[in-house]
Amino acid sequence: MENTASDKVFSFFNYFFLTIIALLVVYPLIFIVSASLSNPIHVLNGEIWFWPKGLNFEAYKKLFSNHDIINGFLNTVKYTVVGTAINVVLTIMAAYPLSRKDFVGRNVIMGIFVFTMFFSGGLIPSYLLIKSLGMIDTFWVMVIPNAVSIFNIIIMRTFFQTTIPLELQEAAMIDGAGNTRILLKIVLPLSMPVIAVMILFYAVAHWNSYFTALIYLQNKELFPLQLILREILIQNQASDMVKSTSESFLKQQMSVEGLKYAVLIFANLPMLILYPFLQRYFVKGFLVGSIKG
């Protein structure tokens, strides 16, 4: 079927606006990469628009030689890996029974879960609770208090209800399989799209988390990378990292400027690498789990 004039006009504006949006999304990333590789004096003078000027790797040398940044990166990796594993396991353990029609009281339990989405104890009671549990300034304060998301439980429960055939589970029960075996051998292998979505959601949340660390951590050795980045970008503490008696104030500011952009690249690169591997599952798992039912 040949496109009409109105179809061609519609397609033109579609491509035009999508191109503009793509440029708005991609350009900041290009600018940050260029600024991190440029001579800081060009960055301070606002001369960087697209390509790097005065190719310079000094910021990356300072980044990889700085103990706080490297330690923060390793801490964030540990929080993300352990936290995401706990999140996904607990989400599956909650979502699967709630998806079963033969689970007595599932609607009441789901109602209690949903209630916590809208009402919480607040920051001070939460702090007092975590303090009474002895988790202040520990590794576990970064992974246990936010161990499960009710929103993600709803997505996974809906996926189980709408995608995994009930007849398949009943046939397995007739053959003598228990709930645990059904979950491990039938439900989970068929649920890889939504599991990939959960991994992505939880991993990104852990990787970008800084508020929990800001409230509950005092030991700098436990700080995640995002908290170190916050100190650099907001509290202007990068000057302490590059300070030297032989450097002029201007040179210090130049080093700080380059370090800011280098740390931004360093902090976001792992998530940019992870996303393409999970992208093929992302749309399918998210839409099926959230729209159907």
**Angle CA 166–167–170, to nearest 5:** 90
270 pLDDT above the threshold of 60 = yes
CATH superfamily of 58-290: MetI-like (1.10.3720.10)
pTM of the model: 0.78
Res 251: pLDDT: 60
Res 245: pLDDT: 45
DSSP 121: -
* Domain residue spans of the chain: 1-56, 58-290
> Which of 89-93, 96-100, 161-165 shows the lowest mean pLDDT across its residues?
161-165
CA distance linking residue 51 with residue 43, whole number of Å:
11
288 pLDDT above the threshold of 70 = no
Which of the four pLDDT bands, split at 50, 70 and 90, describes residue 236? low
CB neighbours of 142 closer than 8 A, spacing ≥ 6?
79, 83, 206, 209, 212, 213, 216, 217, 222, 224
Instruction: Write the pLDDT tens digit of every residue in 74-87.
Output: 999 999 999 999 99
CA distance linking residue 270 with residue 113, whole number of Å:
32
CB neighbours of 187 closer than 8 A, spacing ≥ 6?
96, 160, 164, 169
CA distance linking residue 80 with residue 86, whole number of Å:
10
Q: HSE (CB half, 13 Å, CA atoms) of 220?
A: 7
Strands (E), 105-244: none
Rg, the chain, Cα only: 24
> Residues of the chain with pLDDT > 70: what percent?
85
Instruction: Write the pLDDT tens digit of every residue in 177-212.
Output: 788 888 888 888 888 888 888 888 898 889 888 888
